[in-house]
Protein backbone atom coordinates (compact mmCIF):
# COMPACT_ATOMS: atom_id res chain seq x y z
CA UNK A 1 0.00 0.00 0.00
CA UNK A 2 1.33 3.46 -0.85
CA UNK A 3 1.95 6.14 1.76
CA UNK A 4 1.97 9.93 1.61
CA UNK A 5 2.09 11.99 4.79
CA UNK A 6 3.92 14.39 7.04
CA UNK A 7 6.85 13.47 9.23
CA UNK A 8 7.63 15.65 12.25
CA UNK A 9 11.18 16.42 13.35
CA UNK A 10 12.05 18.06 16.69
CA UNK A 11 15.23 20.10 16.85
CA UNK A 12 16.70 22.17 19.65
CA UNK A 13 18.62 25.32 18.78
CA UNK A 14 20.48 27.81 20.92
CA UNK A 15 18.35 30.96 20.79
CA UNK A 16 20.95 33.68 21.44
CA UNK A 17 24.42 32.23 22.03
CA UNK A 18 26.09 35.64 22.47
CA UNK A 19 23.75 37.19 25.04
CA UNK A 20 22.16 34.09 26.59
CA UNK A 21 24.48 31.09 26.14
CA UNK A 22 23.00 27.73 27.04
CA UNK A 23 19.37 28.74 26.41
CA UNK A 24 17.77 26.36 23.91
CA UNK A 25 14.43 26.37 22.16
CA UNK A 26 12.53 23.50 20.56
CA UNK A 27 11.78 23.94 16.87
CA UNK A 28 9.37 21.72 14.91
CA UNK A 29 9.90 20.90 11.25
CA UNK A 30 7.21 19.08 9.27
CA UNK A 31 8.00 17.62 5.87
CA UNK A 32 5.89 15.52 3.51
CA UNK A 33 7.18 12.20 2.20
CA UNK A 34 6.13 9.44 -0.18
CA UNK A 35 6.67 5.82 0.63
CA UNK A 36 5.10 2.45 1.33
CA UNK A 37 3.07 1.00 4.16
CA UNK A 38 5.01 -2.22 4.82
CA UNK A 39 2.97 -4.22 7.27
CA UNK A 40 -0.59 -4.53 8.36
CA UNK A 41 -1.42 -2.90 11.60
CA UNK A 42 -2.95 -4.26 14.73
CA UNK A 43 -4.60 -2.00 17.25
CA UNK A 44 -5.05 -2.51 20.93
CA UNK A 45 -6.41 -0.46 23.76
CA UNK A 46 -3.98 0.25 26.55
CA UNK A 47 -5.24 0.60 30.10
CA UNK A 48 -3.97 3.87 31.50
CA UNK A 49 -4.72 6.16 34.37
CA UNK A 50 -6.44 8.57 31.97
CA UNK A 51 -10.19 8.92 31.77
CA UNK A 52 -10.17 7.23 28.35
CA UNK A 53 -7.86 4.36 27.42
CA UNK A 54 -5.24 4.97 24.74
CA UNK A 55 -5.00 3.14 21.43
CA UNK A 56 -1.75 1.76 20.12
CA UNK A 57 -0.85 0.31 16.72
CA UNK A 58 2.00 -1.73 15.37
CA UNK A 59 2.91 -0.80 11.82
CA UNK A 60 5.93 0.08 9.69
CA UNK A 61 6.15 2.81 7.08
CA UNK A 62 9.03 3.11 4.62
CA UNK A 63 9.68 6.63 3.32
CA UNK A 64 11.92 7.73 0.49
CA UNK A 65 14.37 9.94 2.36
CA UNK A 66 15.62 13.25 1.05
CA UNK A 67 18.93 14.70 2.32
CA UNK A 68 17.15 16.41 5.24
CA UNK A 69 15.59 13.16 6.50
CA UNK A 70 18.84 11.23 5.97
CA UNK A 71 20.80 13.75 8.06
CA UNK A 72 18.13 14.21 10.76
CA UNK A 73 16.52 10.77 11.16
CA UNK A 74 17.38 10.77 14.87
CA UNK A 75 15.09 13.79 15.35
CA UNK A 76 11.94 12.15 13.92
CA UNK A 77 9.15 12.18 16.52
CA UNK A 78 5.91 11.47 14.65
CA UNK A 79 4.32 10.51 11.35
CA UNK A 80 0.88 11.48 10.06
CA UNK A 81 -1.04 8.35 9.11
CA UNK A 82 -4.78 7.77 8.67
CA UNK A 83 -5.58 11.32 9.76
CA UNK A 84 -3.72 11.18 13.10
CA UNK A 85 -0.22 11.78 14.38
CA UNK A 86 1.54 8.60 15.53
CA UNK A 87 4.68 8.33 17.63
CA UNK A 88 7.70 6.90 15.84
CA UNK A 89 9.24 4.34 18.17
CA UNK A 90 12.25 3.47 16.00
CA UNK A 91 13.89 4.31 12.67
CA UNK A 92 15.72 1.77 10.54
CA UNK A 93 18.13 3.24 7.98
CA UNK A 94 18.03 1.41 4.63
CA UNK A 95 19.43 4.05 2.30
CA UNK A 96 17.72 5.64 0.35
CA UNK A 97 14.80 4.71 2.60
CA UNK A 98 13.97 5.12 6.26
CA UNK A 99 11.68 2.54 7.85
CA UNK A 100 9.58 4.08 10.63
CA UNK A 101 8.06 1.83 13.29
CA UNK A 102 4.87 3.42 14.60
CA UNK A 103 3.28 2.88 18.01
CA UNK A 104 1.10 5.15 20.14
CA UNK A 105 -0.86 8.28 19.28
CA UNK A 106 1.40 11.33 19.47
CA UNK A 107 0.44 14.38 21.53
CA UNK A 108 2.45 17.37 20.41
Q: What CATH number is given to the structural domain containing 34?
A: 2.40.10
Phi-psi category of 19—alpha, beta or left, where left has phi over 0 and alpha has psi -120 to 50?
alpha
pLDDT at 50: 58
What pTM, to 2 d.p., does this model score?
0.82
Total domain count, the chain: 1
- Domain of residue 39 covers 2-105
Share of the chain above pLDDT 70, in %: 86
- The SS3 assignment for 65 reads coil
> How many Cα atoms are found within 13 Å in the side-chain-facing hemisphere of 49?
0
For 10-26, how does the pLDDT look when each residue is reduced to its tens digit (9 = 90+)?
Answer: 999 888 889 989 999 99
Amino acid sequence: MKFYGKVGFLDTIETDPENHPGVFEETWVERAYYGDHLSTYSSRWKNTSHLNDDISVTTRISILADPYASNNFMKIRYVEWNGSLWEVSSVEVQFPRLVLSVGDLYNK
